[in-house]
Amino acid sequence: MTRFTLYSRSYCHLCEDMLNALQALAPEGRPFEVDVIDVDADSALVERFDELVPVLFGRLDEPELCHYFLDAEAVQRYLDREPAKAA
């Protein structure tokens, strides 16, 4: 299954907006999972992301897909190249 990682904060309206917009892009019949990571729970993540949140990754070993606002085109390109896998 395709997976995204969203680095976020609990009090961040941009983070909530990005998560909602991302979930709305789930292709029919091909759901994906989103791991939401609270950067404030880890000082290393605060140091890395702090004011950049929300930050969205597809694969963690690749550059971010977007930050602040959802880049629907970048997400769609990622979905198009990820092979469909059984859940």
Cα-to-chain-centroid distance, residue 8: 9
| DSSP summary character for residue 68 | S
Provide the number of structural domains found in the chain: 1
Q: Give yes or no for a contact between 57 and 2, defined as CB atoms under 8 angstroms apart.
A: no
> Domain of 76: which CATH number?
3.40.30.10
pLDDT the model gives residue 87: 44
pLDDT class of 71 with cuts at 50, 70, 90: very high
Q: In whole numbers, what is the pLDDT of the chain averaged over residues?
A: 91
- Give the residue numbers spanning the domain of 58: 2-81
- Cα angle 7-15-29, degrees, rounded to a multiple of 5: 85
